[in-house]
Amino acid sequence: MQFDGVRGGSAAAPGVELARCVAPTIRGSSAYTVLGFTGYGVASIIAGVLGALLGLSLADRMLVAFGPPLAFLAAVWFASRRAGYERIVFYEATIAAFTLTGGIAVCTGARIGSVLDVVAVGIGYFLVFGRLGCFRVACCHGRPTRTRLGVRYGQAHVAVGFPELWRGRAVVPVQLVEAAASLALATVALALAFSEEGDGAATYVIGYSLMRFPLEFVRGDRDRRYWRGLSEAQRMAVLTAAAAAALHPRAWTLAGAALVALAAAAVVATHRCAATQLLRASHIHEVGDCHATMARGHSEVTSAGLSISRHMLPDGRTDFVWSREAGLSERDARRLAALIDPEADVVPGRVPNLVHVVVPRH
């Protein structure tokens, strides 16, 4: 299973070994599935109670009870058919839920603002449990970190999709960050649902976009789709924030949407720089695969134009020679090498745009 579109052992960096109390299963069942159903149950109860407190009609409460999950299942089915494997993308499912529920509400003359408020609150609380499930099974994971807040995943998680490249290394627990942020946003949206209709939904959508956009920069899962430097989720963040501002124009929604749009413009403007291309999650894993499978004396060129060749040194260490016609700074090479192997030693070459990445014998 892949959540948010996610589908390669080095020495571990210092960090808190949270993975010792994290397993991909709960009593023999997938932790993601167990927590997902738990989240659906909790979200349904909260949404049902909120709908009643807001005075929604029985028909409207039935709409918010069954509309979002049906849209979610439909979005997952279409995404999985298109990809050829089970692919759950939060933004796609959320947009489907808002579109279906909002569309029906408009056609039936329901209180669309309050209906969407309830939907947003339900989605927010559901995501809390969904991301906890992601954390347990190691999907939607972060990149290696040197801080003491990292989480380590072992062989059990590699068996269900975590990259072997980062087994045992501390990675940023982005799933927990997103779970905490969604909990806070859903709670704020819950409180605002009793004020002006639509405030709760707009707050969650804008707030989630502002949180998710920068969080994408520390995501480490390999199958990330980019366009001009923007990941799929970042593009969705821009679109959903703009939609929230257009449908619920207030000074704070317009400001939030503008902030996300400016951040996106900055990324697009710098997407051709070497650091952006070399340190993209998909490229990091591509280089890791080259190091792991490349035969001695062979060479390959990555999607970012990085030429890699492998040679053996007399003392048994491996010398990977990196070069790039478009430019390769020592700083970028060190950052990339540290993500591949923290014990690698980067030695500048005698010619520009060439470095030696010397890996000790493991």
pLDDT tens track for 79-91: 778 777 777 788 8
Which of 176, 182, 157, 184 lies closest to 168 in space, CA to CA? 157
Helix pair angle (232-247, 90-108), 10° resolution: 20
Reply yes or no on whether the pLDDT at 123 is more than 80.
Answer: yes
d(CA 203, CA 1): 30
Domain with CATH 3.40.1720 in the chain: 277-359
Residue 28: pLDDT band (50, 70, 90) is low
Q: What pTM was estimated for this model as a whole?
A: 0.87
Burial class (CB in 10 A: 0-12, 13-18, 19+), 272: exposed
Q: What is the DSSP letter of 218?
A: G
C-alpha to C-alpha distance for 213 and 232, rounded to whole angstroms: 10
Quick count: other Cβ atoms within 10 Å of Cβ 52? 12
Give per-residue pLDDT as tens, 218-265: 999 887 788 898 999 999 999 999 999 999 999 999 999 999 999 999
pLDDT over 80 (residue 72): yes
- Rg of the Cα trace of the chain? 23
User: Per CATH, which fold does 277-359 belong to?
Assistant: Streptococcus thermophilus LMG 18311 protein like (3.40.1720)
Integer Cα distance of 204 and 196 in angstroms: 14
> What is the helix (H) or strand (E) element at residue 315, kind and residue range?
none
